[in-house]
Amino acid sequence: MSPAGIIGRLIAVLGLAWAGGFLWFTLTLPDPAPIANHSDAVVVLTGGAGRLHRGVAVLEAGSARRMLVTGVDRLTTRKQLAAAARLDIGRLMTTDLGYEAVDTRSNAEETARWVASHHFTSIRLVTSAGHMRRARLELARVLPGTVTVIPDAVPVEPQAPSIAAEYSKYMLRRIALALGAI
Rounded Cα distance between 94 and 161, Å, is 36
Q: In sequence order, what are the residues at sequence separation of 6 or more whose Cβ sits closer than 8 angstroms to the Cβ of residue 5?
A: none
Q: pLDDT for 13-33, tens place per residue? A: 999 999 999 999 999 999 999
pLDDT of residue 100: 95
Residue 78 vs residue 43, higher pLDDT: 43
Q: Alpha-carbon distance 104 to 109, whole Å?
A: 9
Q: Could you tell me the pLDDT band of residue 92, with boundaries at 50, 70 and 90?
A: confident
pLDDT range class, residue 42, cuts 50, 70, 90: very high
Ordered by start, the domain boundaries in the chain are 41-178
pLDDT at 129: 93
For position 3, what pLDDT does the model report? 85
Q: How far apart are CA 137 and CA 72, in angstroms?
A: 21
Q: Name the pTM for this structure.
A: 0.90
Cβ neighbors of 21 (< 8 A, separation 6 or more) are 167, 171
Question: Measured in Å, how far apart are the chain's first and last C-alpha atoms?
Answer: 39
pLDDT beyond 90 at 5: no
In this prediction, residue 25 carries a pLDDT of 93
Q: How many CB atoms lie within 10 A of CB 9?
A: 11
Angle, CA 106 vertex, CA 101 and CA 112 arms, to 5°: 105
**By CB neighbour count within 10 A (0-12 exposed, 13-18 middle, 19+ buried), where does 160 fall?**
exposed
Confidence at 47, pLDDT banded by 50, 70, 90: confident
For the domain 41-178, what is the CATH superfamily, name and number?
HUPs (3.40.50.620)
pLDDT given for residue 76 in this prediction? 92
- Mind listing the pLDDT tens digit for each residue in 111-164? 999 999 999 999 999 999 999 999 999 999 999 999 999 999 998 777 778 899
